[in-house]
Chains A and B, each alone.
Chain A
Amino acid sequence: MIQIEDLHRSFDGVQVLKGVTCEIRKGEILALIGGSGSGKSVILKHVSGLLRPDRGRVLIDGTDITSLRRAELEQMRSRFGFLFQSGALFSSLNVFDNVAFPLREKTKLEEAKIREKVISVLDQVGLKEAEQKYPAQLSGGMIKRTALARALVRTPEIMFFDEPTTGLDPVIAHTILDLIQSLHRRLLFTGIIVTHELARVFGIVERVALLYEGMIRFIGTPTEIMASQDVVVQQFMSGAKGPVKLY
């Protein structure tokens, strides 16, 4: 279980997070939605330990990761998988080596076993035929799928998805979300998805949290958020004009 408690963070004097508090239950996927620049990715980076807060805590199964030392944090991160918005593939490695990288560097598996696991996960994301290609030769959807394969190859307990469908056409975006859903059913990871694709994502998440002005404005099931009478929530869901500030 992930507990975010009173998270505060500012950058160059601008307060981005002003006391974010929420909880992600074991095995559920939470969609984190909010306006551009509202701090959704910043929350993700705090929960994964990439950033340290000015104030507040992030507890993962009771362990406060904001106070862990480097070695302890590295150990904790062995449980994480992270799908970056850009994919963050290593440009000097081909698809196979990108996916094999965490296994080669973080486990003592033999090369034959690594090959077996990598091929299996590439098969799951439909990229078995592209194993020798380099990131520069891949389309946006293939980059996302390779990054997803790399994030999942060590079967993480906790997955972070930073805008997994941004920049993709609707068909590929749908495929990626279907893939996340089917992998979640199989692997039962706990997950946070930062996204703008409200309608599609609501089909695969258990709950939705709306970040507004540095705090969680609403948290509930997709049905509850659709029925909310909060003007900010309503404006965000409909995309119409209203009290929400544009950045």
Chain B
Amino acid sequence: MIREWGAYTLFVLRSLGQMGVFLARVITCGLTPPLKVAWIVRQIWFIGFQSTLVIFLTGAFTGMVLGLQGFYTLNRFGSAALLGPMVALSLIRELGPVLSALMVTGRAGSAMTAEIGIMRSSEQIDAIELMGLNPHRYLVVPRLVAGVIALPLLTSIFDVVGILGGYLMGVKLLSLGRGTYFGEMVNHIDMEDILVGIYKSLFFGLIITWVCSYKGYHAGSGAEGVSKATTQAVVLSSVLVLFWDYIVTSFFF
């Protein structure tokens, strides 16, 4: 029993070490020229642009639920006028970055792991190495840079759409004044709130692309190896996003 736990602990520590070394290598590679700009643009298009629809829908429904639920709760305490700040604060500081990250993990992160994993098992990564090239420069750095650029942008879209969703429910459906909704929002939202959301989404972009690329890069062979790596990537990315969200939130609390 003790031996099993010891072996498991060693396995976890070794995996963490390997992930750390992987990230350090990728960052070192990213800081040395040449940077593959065309590859980065392609990844921004894939991670960012192609995720806009799902982010739009998630943001809209989250904002609408917040509008309904927030109005119901605040109205009980006679504070329905604060619906705007409640919706905006919840979205900007917390739900926008986290839900965007989780949606991107599901849509782009899983595809990232599967693509790199298939490249690994079909020896395409070995082929790049044998051309005297560094596979990190072509496969991981562009994804990491694209993730760090795309996530804050997607989060911003999520926030704006969510606020409009809350507006639809609070103002159009429940007859709260438009001026009250936006006016109170302006009064209660600081630049720091917006920055917290941006910082979070920057980290989440890094976490998702790092974990998903790592898992794909070290995927086992065949369909089973790739599917296992994809599942692990999605689960680990999601857990790390939530864990890091707690760390950043407690830091800026």
Contact A86 B122 (CB under 8 A): yes
A6-54 contacts to B (CB < 8 Å): 45, 48, 50
With a cutoff of 8 Å between Cβ atoms, the chain B residues found around residue A76 in the complex are: 132
Nearest residue, chain B, Cβ from A147: B127
- As a 0/1 sequence over residues 125 to 136 of chain B, the CB contacts with chain A under 8 angstroms (1 = contact) are 011011111100
Q: Is B249 an interface residue (CB 8 A)?
A: no
In the bound assembly, the distance between CA atoms of A85 and B123 in angstroms comes to: 9
Contact B124 A77 (CB under 8 A): no
In the bound assembly, the distance between CA atoms of A132 and B122 in angstroms comes to: 22
Nearest residue, chain A, Cβ from B36: A105
Q: Is A101 an interface residue (CB 8 A)?
A: yes
With a cutoff of 8 Å between Cβ atoms, the chain A residues found around residue B129 in the complex are: 50, 77
Shortest Cβ gap from B30 to chain A (Å): 15
A67-115 contacts to B (CB < 8 Å): 70, 74-78, 80, 82, 84-86, 88-91, 101-102, 105-106
Dominant secondary structure of chain A at its interface with chain B: mixed
Q: CB within 8 A of A101: which of B122, B123, B131? A: B131
Contact A77 B130 (CB under 8 A): yes
Number of A-B residue pairs with CB-CB distance less than 8 Å in the complex they form: 45
Shortest Cβ gap from B39 to chain A (Å): 11
Contact A78 B132 (CB under 8 A): yes
B-side interface residues, number (CB < 8 Å): 11
- Whether A74 touches B122, Cβ cut-off 8 Å, given contacts A82-B127, A84-B127, A88-B127, is no
Contact B122 A77 (CB under 8 A): no
Nearest residue, chain A, Cβ from B123: A88
In the bound assembly, the distance between CA atoms of A80 and B132 in angstroms comes to: 9
Q: CB within 8 A of A84: which of B123, B132, B133? A: B123
Nearest residue, chain B, Cβ from A162: B123
In the bound assembly, the distance between CA atoms of A241 and B123 in angstroms comes to: 34
Contact A105 B123 (CB under 8 A): no
With a cutoff of 8 Å between Cβ atoms, the chain B residues found around residue A106 in the complex are: 131-133
Contact A50 B124 (CB under 8 A): no
With a cutoff of 8 Å between Cβ atoms, the chain A residues found around residue B126 in the complex are: 45, 50, 82, 84, 88
- Whether A105 touches B127, Cβ cut-off 8 Å, given contacts A86-B122, A88-B122, is no
With a cutoff of 8 Å between Cβ atoms, the chain A residues found around residue B130 in the complex are: 48, 50, 77, 80, 82
In the bound assembly, the distance between CA atoms of A76 and B130 in angstroms comes to: 9
With a cutoff of 8 Å between Cβ atoms, the chain B residues found around residue A45 in the complex are: 126
Contact B132 A74 (CB under 8 A): yes
With a cutoff of 8 Å between Cβ atoms, the chain A residues found around residue B123 in the complex are: 84-86, 88
Contact A77 B132 (CB under 8 A): yes
Q: CB within 8 A of B132: which of A75, A85, A88, A89? A: A75
B93-128 contacts to A (CB < 8 Å): 122-124, 126-127
Please report B residues at the A interface, Cβ cutoff 8 Å.
Answer: 122-124, 126-127, 129-134
Chosen A-B contacts, 18 in total, with CB atoms closer than 8 Å, are A48-B130, A50-B126, A50-B130, A74-B132, A75-B132, A77-B131, A77-B132, A82-B127, A84-B123, A84-B127, A85-B123, A88-B123, A88-B126, A101-B131, A102-B131, A105-B131, A106-B132, A106-B133
Please report A residues at the B interface, Cβ cutoff 8 Å.
Answer: 45, 48, 50, 70, 74-78, 80, 82, 84-86, 88-91, 101-102, 105-106
Q: Which 7 A-B pairs have the closest CB atoms?
A: A77-B132, A88-B123, A88-B127, A74-B132, A78-B132, A82-B130, A102-B131
